[in-house]
Structures are given as C-alpha cells and as structure tokens.
Amino acid sequence: MIFFTSDTHFGHQFALTKRKRPFPSVQAMDEHLVARWNETVGVNDEVFHLGDVAHLEHDGLPDVLARLNGRLHLILGNNDRREAMEATGRWETTAEMRELTIGDQRVFLCHYPLREWPNAWRGAWHLFGHVHGKYDHDPHGLSMDVGVDSHFYAPTSLEAITKRLRRAAAA
C-alpha cells in the first residue's frame, strides 16, 4: 500500500504548545506517533512524508526513524535540513517537490499548499502539509492536507485520499 503524511515534528516542543497536541510531553507525543504509524503502515508499504519530520536539533531522530514501518520517501519541509535527513540513511528518496503517477492519477507532492500545481487543470491532485489542518474545512479543489494533525496522528492511505478527492471532484 501507499501512504502519505506530514508534520510529525518528532522531538519538537512547538508541536505541543503552538499546535495544541494532546500529549503530556514531547516523548509521549513521539511514542504515540510511532505507534500510530506502525499500526497503520506495514513493513513493505511505501510512505511519502511531506516534510517537517522533526525538530532541527532532534539528536534521536535516526533511532525514531529506524522504528517506523515502511519504505520512506521525503519531500523536504521548512524544518528539514537535507544533509541531516539524508544522514539518517532512512530515506529512499529526498526531494523539494515531486510529481507521481499512480495508476492513471497524477499526484503533485509539496510541503506547502499551493493554489495551482502542475497538471491541476488536467485533474492532478496536490498533497501537502505545513498548515496543520488549517484548511480542512475550506478545501481548495483537488488538494489535501495529509499532515498528522488532520488524520488522527497517523499516515493516510492512498485509498482514503482517493475516496475524498474523487468525492470533491464530483461535487
């Protein structure tokens, strides 16, 4: 299966305070995120993380990433340094943005929400993070926030995304 996620912010106090995540500590948040990830994603599944993996100073990040199921791909976010992320050895690919074709569906991946993206007028989807659910109640076309704050702190399956965006296209 294929999954998408964003904005895990492992080791980041800011996610608790500013984003008001319901955890008593950063360590509790990290453990919950790892547990929800592994409940959702199998060892052979593919996961595209759309940025803001962790706090810039997270010393234990390689250990956290080693505990996550799946084959991981990274779209860099504003809190991700390419060198640090690649040094973990956990990402199969790393990019600023990426366009995929899955079956007959084009999907454009970027950490940031965009008003226009490649092939949008041809029905391409845009998956993003960064906004922590800010646009969940005001969607824009065939785009969707895949961040953990919008999806019960777990990655979201391609199947769930397909159902949601096909409903949006039919509306």
Q: Where are the domains of the chain?
A: 2-170
Look up tokens 């052979």; give the residue. Answer: 44
Distance of alpha carbon 70 from alpha carbon 33, whole angstroms: 14
Strands 97-102 and 91-95: unpaired
Order of strands across the sheet with 71-75?
Answer: 91-95, 71-75, 46-49, 2-5, 156-157
Name the helix (H) or strand (E) containing 28: helix 26-40
pLDDT of residue 30: 96
Residues ≥6 apart with Cβ < 8 Å to 89: 62
The residue ranking higher by pLDDT, 158 or 137, is 158
pLDDT in tens, 144-157: 999 999 999 999 99
9: left (phi over 0), alpha (psi -120 to 50) or beta: left
pLDDT in tens, 3-27: 999 999 999 988 888 778 999 999 9
Pick the CATH number of 2-170 from 2.170.130.10, 3.30.450.40, 3.40.640.10, 3.60.21.10: 3.60.21.10
Name the helix (H) or strand (E) containing 39: helix 26-40
Query: Using 50, 70 and 90 to split pLDDT, how confident is the model at 2?
Result: very high
Whether the Cβ atoms of residue 82 and residue 38 lie closer than 8 Å to each other: no
Say if residue 104 is exposed, middle or buried (CB neighbours under 10 Å; 0-12, 13-18, 19+): exposed
pLDDT in tens, 87-118: 999 999 999 999 999 999 999 999 999 989 99
Average per-residue pLDDT in the chain? 92
